[in-house]
């Protein structure tokens, strides 16, 4: 597998594919690859002639008190996994290559509205940083299609909105969350959990599934349902940031007649901030 670190060399390398109308897929990641990322790569291989995986721990999407410095960086291990998965090209730029010297002054892509709710309330600036790097990677690689995990549900909706609003010629594919055998959504941050916390962590998904079941059973007292789930999370020792019942895709507040929901949550367990979601479609 070839690893490129520079924007110009990457552009030069993929130019031939584009000129000969071969389809390019991009899988943006922050590395420390697990089975969830490999699933994205696998889907990308089905969707295009060539796959570019990027690994870049993006400083712009981390708040001042977040884990940018300690975020797991495992480039050699990641390269071996990608090669084994049949990926031909890895783009692994440095912070300097992507942003130059002045992070504060760098142009931002903002998707207001969708970025200001849920995770955006607890992580100010996170989604602008995320949208900025995704837009830049799209400009560098110019993929026909890009793949993102549905675990980061809000992120996925923001990217879809950015692409629509800015008429970016990229198809966005959301890929279902890959879970451990006990239901915990795979995440690089799961490794922050102690053994005891790890045994508690699947409760987040369980509690979201219980809430989803209540919706299927006809309950529409959304705030009450959220409160009950928050209490359950606190009772097992998590520190929830939020549990929210929202309309699927738009993330707006549901109404009595809403038929497609997403139930989302973020909760701290020790050093790890877990996020997860469950979609619920009610047949009318
Ligand atoms: O989901 C992630 O890993 C990141 O937010 C992404 C999309 C690679 C942008 O840095």
Give the pTM.
0.98
Q: For 73, what's the count of Cα atoms within 13 Å in the CB-facing half-sphere?
A: 11
pLDDT band at 261 (very low <50, low <70, confident <90, very high): very high
For 152-173, how does the pLDDT look when each residue is reduced to its tens digit (9 = 90+)? 999 999 999 999 999 999 999 9
**Which atom of ligand 1 lies closest to the CA of 57?**
10
Summarize pLDDT for 91-122 with one digit per residue, the tens. Answer: 999 999 999 988 999 999 999 999 999 999 99
Distance 255 CA to ligand 1 centre (A): 31
Residue pLDDT, tens place only, 26-38: 999 999 999 999 9
Catalytic residues: 37
The DSSP letter of residue 186 is P
**Helix H or strand E encompassing 11:** helix 7-19
Measured by CA distance, the residue closest to atom 6 of ligand 1 is 29
How sure is the predictor about 200, in pLDDT bands with cuts at 50, 70 and 90?
very high
Q: Which amino acid residue places its CA nearest to atom 3 of ligand 1?
A: 29
**From CA 83, how far away is CA 17, in angstroms rounded?**
20
Q: In the predicted model, is pLDDT for residue 250 greater than 70? A: yes
Distances (CA, A) of 85 to 37, 89, 261: 11, 11, 34
76-89: pLDDT as tens digits: 999 999 999 999 99
- pLDDT exceeds 90 at position 264: yes
Asked if pLDDT for residue 9 goes beyond 90, the answer is yes
Domains with residue ranges and CATH for the chain: 2-175 (3.40.50.620), 188-279 (3.30.1300.10)
Q: How far from chain centre, in Å, is Cα 274? A: 12
In this prediction, residue 283 carries a pLDDT of 79
Q: Give the pLDDT confidence score for residue 180 in this predicted structure.
A: 98
Distance of alpha carbon 115 from alpha carbon 125, whole angstroms: 8
Mean pLDDT, the chain, rounded, equals 97
Give ligand 1 pocket residues (Cβ under 6 A).
28-30, 58, 61, 130, 133-134, 152, 155
C-beta neighbour count of 122 within 10 angstroms: 12
Residues 6+ apart with CB under 8 A from 206: 183
Average pLDDT for residues 247-269, to the nearest whole number? Answer: 97
What are the two backbone dihedrals, phi and then psi, of residue 68, each rounded to the nearest 5 degrees? -55, -50
Q: How far apart are CA 246 and CA 280, in angstroms?
A: 10
How many Å apart are CA 107 and CA 116, to the nearest integer? 19
């Amino acid at each position: 597998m070839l690893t490129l670190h520079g924007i110009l060399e990457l552009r030069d390398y993929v130019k031939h594919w584009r000129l000969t109308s071969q389809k390019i897929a991009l899988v943006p990641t922050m590395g420390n690859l697990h089975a969830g990322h490999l699933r994205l790569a696998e889907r990308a291989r089905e969707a295009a002639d060539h796959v570019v995986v990027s690994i870049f721990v993006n400083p712009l999407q981390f708040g001042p008190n977040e884990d940018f410095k300690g975020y797991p960086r495992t480039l050699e291990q990641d390269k071996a996994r990608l090669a084994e998965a049949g990926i031909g090209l890895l783009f692994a730029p440095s912070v300097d290559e992507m942003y130059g010297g002045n992070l504060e002054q760098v142009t931002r892509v903002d998707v207001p509205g969708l970025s200001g709710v849920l995770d955006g309330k607890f992580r100010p600036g996170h989604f602008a940083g995320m949208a900025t790097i995704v837009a830049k990677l799209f400009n560098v690689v110019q993929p026909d299609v890009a793949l993102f995990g549905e675990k980061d549900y809000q992120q996925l909706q923001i990217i879809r909105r950015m692409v629509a609003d800015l008429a970016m010629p990229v198809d966005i594919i959301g890929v279902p969350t890959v879970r451990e055998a006990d239901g915990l959504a795979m995440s690089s941050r799961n490794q922050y959990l102690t053994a005891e916390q790890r045994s508690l962590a699947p409760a987040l998904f369980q509690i979201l599934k219980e809430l989803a079941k209540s919706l299927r059973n006809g309950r529409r007292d959304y705030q009450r349902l959220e409160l009950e789930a928050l209490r359950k999370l606190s009772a097992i020792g998590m520190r929830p940031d939020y549990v929210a019942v929202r309309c699927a895709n738009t993330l707006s507040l549901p109404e009595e007649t809403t038929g497609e929901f997403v139930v989302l949550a973020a909760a701290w367990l020790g050093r790890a901030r877990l996020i997860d979601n469950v979609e619920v479609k009610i047949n009318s």
